[in-house]
Structure 1
Amino acid sequence: MRAHIERYVVARDNAGLLGCAGIEQYGSVGLLRGLAVAQRARSAGLGELLISTIVADVRQRGVESIVLRTTSASAYFARLGFAPITTSEMPRALLPLTEFPPGNTAEGIVMQTAL
């Protein structure tokens, strides 16, 4: 995994950590590893800012789509342009990764967006 880590973005203020997001690159596919925003910073657009910062960076590195798995934020990511995908739609570069169970199961929904 360490060889694929491309970018982590962290937002802070004087009181500490506000949010972070991370992405790994597998050829032309980005795998969003995480997005977290502190409770005190939610509803201010910080999550969207973190995602857009990462997207701008990986787009320049040749990433053409981003995939993620979520257990609780599918509606949020849908608003950002992500759509659920099935195992048959999974980019080949991600198929060897063990965190993607077959289909959209209770372990989460797999989503993708084209850049």
Structure 2
Amino acid sequence: MEMTLRKATENEYRAIIHLLASNALPTADIYEKNITLFVGLIDNEIVATIGVEQYGNEALLRSLCVKEGFKNQKLGAKMLSYLLSFCANENIKTLYLLSTTAEHYFVRYGFTKITRDETPKSIQNTREFKDICPASAIIMKLEL
């Protein structure tokens, strides 16, 4: 089964919110103007999502998520690869993420753990960093 990847349309946000919420991922700020969401579709069904919150040449990876029943098929890797290509086209130099559960997953793709103090102000000022993710979340970065 082939997955189609593309930028999400606004009328898909409810389905994305449902997918994120069903995986205990944050949804409070996904309508913010500097967040771009992408979907992975199989037979016109959203089975995966990923997003990026951009601040100049720095960005925050937002909620890589694959629907139950579609996990362990390398769809997450395809979504991440798609996002990294988008970031390269947008001249994003460094991609950051916060995670409470997926540190080992992202290490496989070259992300390295950093401290809260090493995180740039643009990322520290996001709602995800300040309010949504717990202070115990792991912060990681990838130089592109």
Q: Aligned-pair RMSD on alpha carbons?
A: 1.9
Summarize the Cα distance change of 1:13–1:65 in structure 2 as closer, same or farther, 3 Å threshold. Answer: same
Structure 1: tracts of 5 or more residues without a match: none
Summarize the Cα distance change of 1:89–1:39 in structure 2 as closer, same or farther, 3 Å threshold. Answer: same
Does residue 64 of the first structure (1) align with residue 99 of the second (2)? no
For residue 107 of structure 1, report the CA deviation from its aligned partner. 3.3
Does residue 9 of the first structure (1) align with residue 38 of the second (2)? yes
Partner of 1:87, secondary structure, is coil
* Segment drifting more, 15-24 vs 62-71: 15-24
- Structure with the larger strand share: 1
Identity of aligned residues (%): 30
TM-score between the two structures when normalised by the length of structure 2: 0.69
Matches of 2:60 and 2:51 in 1, distance apart? 9
**Structure 1: which 4+ aligned runs deviate by more than 4 Å?**
none
| Count of residues paired in the alignment | 111
Structure 2: tracts of 5 or more residues without a match: 1-28
What code does the residue aligned with 2:75 have?
L
What code does the residue aligned with 2:140 have?
M
TM-score between the two structures when normalised by the length of structure 1: 0.85
